[in-house]
Amino acid sequence: ERHLQLALLVVIQAVLFLAVRFGFEALPGRGVLIPGAVRGRRVRRRAVQFFKASAEKRTAERVGVLLYLSLAEHRAEIIADEAILAKVEEGVWGDAMVALVDKVRAGDPAGGMADAVTRIGAVLTTHFPKTAGDANELPDRLIEL
């Protein structure tokens, strides 16, 4: 009988744990409890993961760029390939981020992405002018996860 009580207690604790864990996930605004620095690191880590999987070193000149927007965490990242990093300072992406954030706050994330891509393109045109032999090596499409 003692073993039965112990087993029942373990099962009750497991059910309670799962209810709290999944119940917490369903709460609106649960992200408020997560510090901004932690959310920022998570978004940066995911952006880098997606960049490595989809664009890094997939262009002949190493000039791939990923614009990553996480609506859930209210964060965005711009990740660039090695040739871009060698020529362009990270702070130069500020205009693109401002354009993105302004439109997202106004309820137009698609417009923000388009404006940011336009500004990223302007930076790239300055440092990597188009030549006759240039080909589009990466897809120009939105990937929604």
Q: pLDDT of 75-118, one tens digit each? A: 899 998 888 888 888 788 999 999 999 999 999 999 999 999 99
SS3 89: coil
Please give the structure tokens belonging to residue 12: 């009750």
Domain count, the chain: 2
**Residues 22, 45: one domain?**
no
Is residue 67 one of the residues assigned to a domain? Answer: yes
CB of 75 within 8 A of CB of 87?
no
**Residues 18, 73: one domain?**
no
Tens digits of residue pLDDT in 50-61: 888 877 777 777
**Residues 13, 66: one domain?**
no
> Which residue segment(s) compose the domain that 26 sits in?
1-30
**Residues 46, 108: one domain?**
yes
24: which residues sit within 8 A by CB, 6+ positions away?
30
Please report the pLDDT score of residue 29 as a whole number: 63
92: which residues sit within 8 A by CB, 6+ positions away?
123
Work out the percent of the chain whose per-residue pLDDT is above 70. Answer: 92
Work out the percent of the chain whose per-residue pLDDT is above 90. Answer: 34
Give dist(CA 26, CA 19) in Å, integer: 11
**Residues 8, 46: one domain?**
no
**Residues 59, 99: one domain?**
yes
Considering the entire predicted model, what is its pTM?
0.71
